[in-house]
């Protein structure tokens, strides 16, 4: 893990971000928050609260209608500085697992032979070393998501953005992937912004949770989850976890009623 001083350095800050779509829907209004190095931040809120939009703005896939995104890292703008994991695995069905993981490097002009060590490493990190030659349709939903994560990690991004990546998976697979993602994050000193609508998932994973209001979305509350890492199954069944979940749920309920008022 990085030393405590560098862990506090911000990677990216959002200042008063607003987003109004062409159809007049305001997804975000006055959204400000900061992501610091080595953090696992979750954006928690109901569907349609603009949390995915915020993630897409950080990724540069959408332009804000107001406010600014400030980067504090030299690597920003270079392809591969950001890893993005979509809600669906979003793999190329015509390419093998290894070729899918190769994609970000291929687009940067690095040939398969040269990229191979990185591909092998990324696949090993998500536990799919034996499936390099398989095709996506031959894999289960959870395995496809692992490939998608390996692809996002292969460029060693300074920031990993995940947009409800496990929402479509069954609970058993989701728990397993949550555990593995945390282990990955912990081992690699990765900075992660994770979008979810699950209180339980956000509490289990995050070092900090940003609770968002709905329509227009903005940050309603910030909750630090101080429980020490590594967290595993024991944490999931602890009284501390239950208490934290209750606290976050209450905050989320307040956020919803604040917006209704």
Partner 1 sequence: MRHAWRQQDGDIRSRTRREQLLRAALPVIALAAGFLVWELVVRFKDLPPYVLPGPMLVFSTLIADWGLLWSSLLSTLKTTFQGLALAFVGGVGLAILFNQSRLIEYSLYPYAVILQVTPVVAIAPLLLIYLPQHAAVLACAWIVAFFPVLANTTLGLNSVDRNLSELFRLYGASRWQILRDLKLPAAMPYILGGLKIAGGLSLIGAVVAEIAAGAAGAGSGLAYRIAESGYRLNIPRMFAALLLLSFTGIVVFAALSSLSHVLLRRWHESAAEPET
Query: Least Å distance between CB 61 and partner 1?
Result: 5
CB of 107 to partner 1, least distance (A): 4
Shortest CB 93 distance to partner 1, Å: 5
Supply 95's token pair. 């390419």
CB hemisphere CA count around 65 (13 angstroms): 13
Q: Are strands 10-20 and 26-36 parallel, antiparallel or unpaired?
A: antiparallel
Nearest residue (CB) to partner 1, 61 versus 253: 61
How far apart are alpha carbons 95 and 136 in whole angstroms? 8
- Candidates 243, 184, 200, 214; CA nearest to 40 is 184
Q: Shortest distance, CB of residue 159 to partner 1, whole angstroms?
A: 12
Nearest CA-CA partner of 160 in 222, 84, 73? 84
Contact residues for partner 1, defined by CB under 8 A: 59-61, 79-80, 82, 84, 86, 88, 90, 92-95, 103-104, 106-108, 135-137, 155
The answer to whether 229 touches 184, Cβ cutoff 8 Å, is no
């Amino acid at each position: 893990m990085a030393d405590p001083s560098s862990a506090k350095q911000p990677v990216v800050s959002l200042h008063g971000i607003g987003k109004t779509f062409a159809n007049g829907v305001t997804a975000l209004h006055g959204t400000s928050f900061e992501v610091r190095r080595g953090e696992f931040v979750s954006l928690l809120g109901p569907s349609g609260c603009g949390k995915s939009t915020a993630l897409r703005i950080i990724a540069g896939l959408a332009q804000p209608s107001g406010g600014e995104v400030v980067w504090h890292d030299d690597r920003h703008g270079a392809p591969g500085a950001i890893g993005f994991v979509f809600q669906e695995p979003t793999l190329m069905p015509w390419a093998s697992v290894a070729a899918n993981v190769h994609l970000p490097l291929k687009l940067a002009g690095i040939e398969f032979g040269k990229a191979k060590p990185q591909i092998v490493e990324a696949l090993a990190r998500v536990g799919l070393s034996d499936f390099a030659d398989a095709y996506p349709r031959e894999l289960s939903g959870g395995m496809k998501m692992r490939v998608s994560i390996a692809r996002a990690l292969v460029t060693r991004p300074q920031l990993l953005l995940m947009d409800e990546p496990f929402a479509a998976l069954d609970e058993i697979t989701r728990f397993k992937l949550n555990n593995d993602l945390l282990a990955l994050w912990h081992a690699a000193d990765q900075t992660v912004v994770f979008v979810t609508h699950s209180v339980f998932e956000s509490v289990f994973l995050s070092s900090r949770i940003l609770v968002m209001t709905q329509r227009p979305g903005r940050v309603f509350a910030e909750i630090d989850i101080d429980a020490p890492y590594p967290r595993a199954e024991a944490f999931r069944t602890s009284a501390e976890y239950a208490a934290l979940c209750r606290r976050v749920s209450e905050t989320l309920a307040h956020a919803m009623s604040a917006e209704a008022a």
